Structure 1
Amino acid sequence: MAGAFRNRRALTVPAAMATALVYVSATGCDSEPPSILSDRTEVAAKSDQPGTSYSPHDGEYNGFDIAVVGNLMNMLGYDTPRFSGVLSKNRAKLLHDGDVQLVAATFSITPTRMAPKDEGGDDLDFVGPYASTLQGFLIHKDDDRNIRTLADLDGRTVCVWRGTTSANELNKPSHNTIVTRVEEDAKTCVNALKAKEVDAVSTDQLILYGFMQANPTLRVVPGLKFGEPNDYGIAMAKGHRKDCVRLRDVLKQYVRQATSWERDFQNSLPKVPKETRDEAKPTEDEIMALSCVDRPGDSPAD
């Protein structure tokens, strides 16, 4: 409106044209679309990852991802969002198709996912990290082959699933002695491990501890961590920076509160060792560096 007012003072134009200028300025393509945050916000989450994001019954979801996004929405005054299931490979697509407004599904914040479409990216904004984790391995509890290092997995079959940073990591030439089996989802990999069709499952350690607590015959290999840290964020399609900043600011408050983050983490992932839990908790500086920006290290959005 201010821009239109200046134009009207600089130029002598008919009243009808001036009105049109005001309308175009107020409704032009630069304005942000309506808020995606409401009592009816739809959130895509994993349905097969106990501890992080899980649906044990039709329509019911629990886990740390669910607790985080639910608490942030409640802190903003909204009802708990509606959840639906998503595969890793479809997370960005659901957002761009408008099927959901947010994704909270152990979704790692990466430069490619953050970058605008014209830079070859997935054109997503993230709020996070709300947790960070390295990758690890899940094996049978009775596996006595003394797996302690990556070299101990040479020639063995490790299951991963499509659309994950774990699958990308094990595809690197430095890990080409490990045989990878790629499936569509986590549940298929875990079932293959339980049936001893594969030697291990690899993904983020926090996810693996969730599988361990749900499957007493499986265990996470202690101390065997690799890859770059995976920083989990709540994703949305770009174009909603005001909503992104609102969620970012309540995430900082949620992490800052004495018990909120720790309580939800411990309730969701009680098998995670204290050292790993402490490493998983983000700082406010980390949240500012990765939230609502096109690339890591950009100036934070207001």
Structure 2
Amino acid sequence: MKKVMVLLCALMMLIGAAGCGSTSTNSTGKTTDKKELVVGTEPSFAPFEFPDKQSGELTGFDIELIRALGKRAGYEKVTIKGMGFDALIPALDTGNIDVAIAGMSITDARKQKVNFTDPYYESGLMTIVRKDNDSIKGLDDLKGKTIAVQLGTTGAEAAGKIQGATVKTFDTSDTACLELKNGGADAVISDLPVLQYFLKQGGNAYAKPVGEPKKGDLYGIATARKNKGLCDKLNKALQDMKKDGEYQKLYDKWFQ
């Protein structure tokens, strides 16, 4: 009887421990305790994620948002891992990261591979050319031209649909813009807020926007298909942030 009581006490302690902290789903589909949220991002996508010039630490709208969401979801620690944009979804599949946040547009093709949270930002696409280029006034003028884009993005997808265009892909939006500066491309197509920020930060010294921006791209936070529980937790945290005004304060800080 004494042994039975000891076993029961041990079992109750395990059950109590399981009720603490946050949970996630492992590769077998079972729920596990997890105190650290591992986040993947592409760290050259200002103002969403980029290194601070003074500290070198990653900052930006996405970085502050996911840290706040992780805390609200019950995680004690949020760890950020930088990687190429096209490596984010494979990293989710293999379990190297728990979530991906990198100005990732919600598309039907991506929804076949990952779970997305509710949209947290409405974006769009913008085209920029060199300041001294007066022949390109919009997308219709890019036929047969050379376009620089970031690999794996909706900008790259849009460029690929332009008749006769030569599309040069780069790991980051910054290097795509550098190709424009150096004369290796006629235009850059990338996310609207990213190119707006780039122009404000000095890019307007040699580049300018052309045509009407394409609106309607919605950004979401991605989790692995097998980890819907985590996606639901982040959705709840995002809803709470919007209700109590923390989301709006963060938005105003980076976009007003």
Higher strand share: 2
Take 1:97 and 1:234, find their aligned partners in 2: how far apart are those partners? Answer: 17
Take 1:30 and 1:196, find their aligned partners in 2: how far apart are those partners? Answer: 51
Structure 2 counterpart of 1:96, from 90, 93, 111:
93
Deviations 1:157-191 (A, max 9, x none): 2201221122112212xx21443222233232121
Match in the other structure for 1:154: 143
State the superposition RMSD in angstroms: 2.6
Q: Does 1:137 align with 2:127?
A: yes
Match in the other structure for 2:233: 246
- Contact 2:47-2:197 within 8 A present in 1 as well: yes
- Contact 2:115-2:225 within 8 A present in 1 as well: yes
Structure 1 counterpart of 2:183, from 182, 191, 196:
196
Structure 1 pair 144/169, CA: closer, same or farther in 2 (3 Å)?
closer
Match in the other structure for 2:68: 71
SS in 2 for 1:132: strand
Q: Does 1:111 align with 2:108?
A: yes
Take 1:219 and 1:80, find their aligned partners in 2: how far apart are those partners? Answer: 40
TM-score, normalised by the number of residues in structure 2: 0.78
Match in the other structure for 1:44: 40
Deviations 1:178-212 (A, max 9, x none): 43222233232121122232222111102212322
SS in 2 for 1:243: helix
Take 2:47 and 2:84, find their aligned partners in 1: how far apart are those partners? Answer: 17
- Contact 2:45-2:172 within 8 A present in 1 as well: no
Count of aligned positions: 228
Deviations 1:73-116 (A, max 9, x none): 1223434511111212111111112211111111122222222x
5 Å matches for 1:4-43? 32-34=30-32, 38=35, 40-43=36-39
Identity %: 23
Report the alpha carbon displacement of residue 152 of structure 1 after superposing the two structures with TM: 3.1
- Contact 1:158-1:181 within 8 A present in 2 as well: yes
TM-score, normalised by the number of residues in structure 1: 0.67
Question: 1:183 is matched by which residue type in structure 2?
Answer: F
Structure 1 pair 191/219, CA: closer, same or farther in 2 (3 Å)?
closer
Structure 1 pair 42/131, CA: closer, same or farther in 2 (3 Å)?
same
SS in 1 for 2:80: strand
Match in the other structure for 2:117: 127
Match in the other structure for 1:261: 247
Structure 1 pair 106/69, CA: closer, same or farther in 2 (3 Å)?
same
Match in the other structure for 1:206: 193
